[in-house]
Amino acid sequence: MQHTNPHPAAPARARSARPLRALGLMLGTAAFALAAAAPAAPRPPADVDGARIVNADAEPGNWMSTGRTYDEQRYSPLKQITDANVNKLGLAWQYKLDYDRGVEATPIVVDGVMYTTGSFSVLYAFDAASGKLLWKGDPKVDRFKAGEFCCDAVNRGPAVWKGKVFVGTNDGRLVAWNAKDGSKAWDVDTVEDHSRSYGITGAPRVVKGKVIIGNGGAEFGVRGYVTAYDAETGKKLWRFYTVPGDPSKPQETPELDMAVKTWTGTQWFEQGGGGTAWDSMAYDPELDLLYIGTGNASMWNYSLRSEAKGDNLFLSSIVAVKPDTGKYVWHYQTTPGDAWDMTATQHMILATLKIDGKDRKIIMQAPKNGFFYVIDRETGKLISAEKYAPVNWADRIDLKTGRPVFNDEAKYWEKKGPVLVKPGFWGGHDWQPMSYNPTTGLVYIPKHVFAVEYENNPDYKYLKNKKHFYQLGVGAAAMGDADKDMQKWSDQWTGALLAWDPVKQKKVWEVPYVTIFNGGTLSTAGNLVFEGTADGRVVAYRATDGKKLWESPAQSGVMAAPVTYDVNGEQYVAFMVGWGGAFSTFAGQASLKAGVKPYAQVLVYKLGGTAKLKPAVYPELKAPEPPKQTASAEQIAHGKDVFNGHCSQCHGINAVSGGVVPDLRRLSAEKHNIFPGIVMGAYSDKGMPSFAGVLTMDEIADLHAYLIKRAYDLQADLKKDPNAK
């Protein structure tokens, strides 16, 4: 790639002697020839700035930002691998990651080096052609804090800028590493209130020298915000709050003065409000607008949070701000007064589409609520919205007002008993990135078919400063109350790869999957769509019609989106493999349908690759060793409530683990003997948070009694079927 000097030297003063002028011309010509013949000096590691990202198509062999480009299309112009030869893909290299937990990262590849993350925010730098580990950066995540929020010890990848690699950590820090050697450049704490359960799972974005990151934790009661830090020093430059602060005090900004009027009462403020920006962002350099997707409320129950009144801005919204200052420009709210965890944190894509005969600069999103949105990205005005997944909470989106036409049947806070809502809290599409192919004109969406029951809990009270605890204000029927209920739901929970026409707002083709939480997608100029699956495969489809052209075993479930890159004229496709995250932990029994076990690794393919896939080594499933049950039925029932309230987000509803963390039904006799100590913090260095000060000894005893019951249940199942899970 040629580079021009942005500050050329001033022209030399004119000289009178013609021989000198002639000599100068001769020397200049010779110097130019030598310069042209000499190879370009290699760039320093991670030498990326805004100009390179904006002009990414000029060097398609790199993948320099999480969406490859600021428009987040996740489309590659590379076409050495095509629909005609993709069946010749073979393994180029494989690397086993340190922790077999959820892997959600999008790798960054710059000038032959891959930067990617695994569980607990560990950063890896590889030679992108050979897979040789160049260095590793471990931020030493505080495992106690990492267990305080949703969902699993995952990380969605790094960002790079001018020789540094940036990673958000599960315990809420933003860390900058020197790309040259993996030494730490700076480390800042992004958490403004350590009495609440903040963390980071999302990938940073770097715009105009500012590293921008949001936080997660709304289910546990936090106030959402996005923060910009100086890429060189880590100094905080601005913070944009996504929900208002204390309504009895002046708000920080004019837009929050507007937002606070859309909330009622004070309970929401005590709960934190939510609206966390835990994942997606996009940037338009021409408009100089940064787009932020915001999340659900604290708590979910609209009547307990805001007396069932108001839109509750800026929950479940796309918000446009100026990246230099964080100043608000516009917003569009996908789900006003969100009461179902219908976040708008899902992947956003910028594109120019021809709509009604005119080129429109748009932003498009398929958020959790099941509608696919096409929005004018300069003004925030809705252009179109249609259902891409089963939906019953709203009949349609009114194009004049931009607002949903709600279905009153989904308003569980007004009902007695459980209410079926489609889609449920994992949405019609979750964090797994979609992609847009400008050649086919299609968006490729990791779709969910998902429904759950919500039930009002009018007597619920927010538990201040009580961490590790889902504070939703919604009854347990949201997930089903017994194993048979979970089985009923899991039989209905399926997934698909959906090819969607954003102009016509309709499905073009679809490939069904066995369960939800399949991988994000990548589309390429080779007329291909790549995706990993929950049931342990990596697959390539023809982009135009969805025909499967290639697949290979991944040895575990795949959730992350693949990338493609070029080194020395050879194209590679890289998949991050590892089962975990919200679905496989919380809905453990349902996730077992996928038939995979956690195994975290990097798999990279190229045409004619000859590497042999090394066998996966999975931990042995131990037989249950329960002690004698001495608790009453009432104590066991109470222990179940304690478990589902405090433990299920990691160990699975009804104590059925998806295999990501230890299955508590299979505790050894030794661990049963020290169970209270484990709960009180004896295993905090192993990633098990301490519940000291959260649970009483009586609650721990009842919790243990419930797990003993579940261990005996499993023993009985294993006698009937040795392969029971």
> In the chain, pLDDT over 90 holds for what percent of residues?
75
Counting every residue written for the chain, the total comes to: 725
Give the per-residue pLDDT at 620: 85
% pLDDT > 70, the chain? 90
Query: Which two three-digit tokens encode residue 296?
Result: 């659900």
pLDDT, tens digit, 9 for 90 and up, residues 677-686 = 999 989 877 7
Asked if 594 contacts 553 with a C-beta cutoff of 8 angstroms, the reply is no
- pLDDT tens digits along 458-476: 887 776 666 556 778 776 4
Token representation of residue 110: 């710059």
So what's the pLDDT on residue 389? 97
What is the second-level CATH architecture of the domain 633-720?
Orthogonal Bundle (1.10)
Strands in 358-365's sheet, in edge-to-edge order, are: 348-355, 358-365, 371-376, 382-387
Closest CA to 461 of 299, 272, 337: 299
Which residues are registered as beta bridge partners of 384? Answer: 374
At 22-40, the pLDDT tens digits run 333 333 333 334 344 455 6
The pTM score is: 0.92
> How far apart, in Å, are the Cα atoms of 529 and each of 67, 83, 539?
15, 9, 8
Pairing between β-strand 225-230 and β-strand 236-241 as defined by DSSP bridges: antiparallel
C-alpha pair distances (Å), 278 with each of 71, 198, 241, 293, 309: 18, 10, 13, 8, 25
What are 634-683's pLDDT values in tens digits?
999 999 988 887 888 788 877 888 788 888 999 999 999 999 999 998 98
Chain mean pLDDT for the chain? 90
Q: Is the pLDDT of residue 197 over 60?
A: yes
The token pair at 701 is 């005893």
| Domain segments of the chain as ranges | 53-607, 633-720
Alpha helices in 294-363 (DSSP H): 302-306
> Using 50, 70 and 90 to split pLDDT, how confident is the model at 18?
very low
Query: Lowest-confidence range among 303-317, 500-514, 709-723?
Result: 709-723
Class of domain 53-607: mainly beta
Neighbour-count burial for 507-528, b at 16+ CB within 10 Å, e otherwise: bbbebebebbbbbbbbbbbbbb
| Per-residue model confidence (pLDDT) at position 465 | 61
User: Which residue has better confidence, 381 or 24?
Assistant: 381
Separation CA 692–CA 47 (nearest Å) = 46
Note if 57 is an active site residue: no
CA distance 657 to 643: 12
The pLDDT tens digits for 252-296 are: 999 999 999 999 999 999 999 999 999 999 999 999 999 999 999
Q: Indicate if the pLDDT at residue 147 is higher than 70.
A: no
Which is catalytic among the residues 71, 171, 284, 341?
341
> Distance between CA 164 and CA 234 in Å, rounded?
11
What is the model's pLDDT at position 113?
98
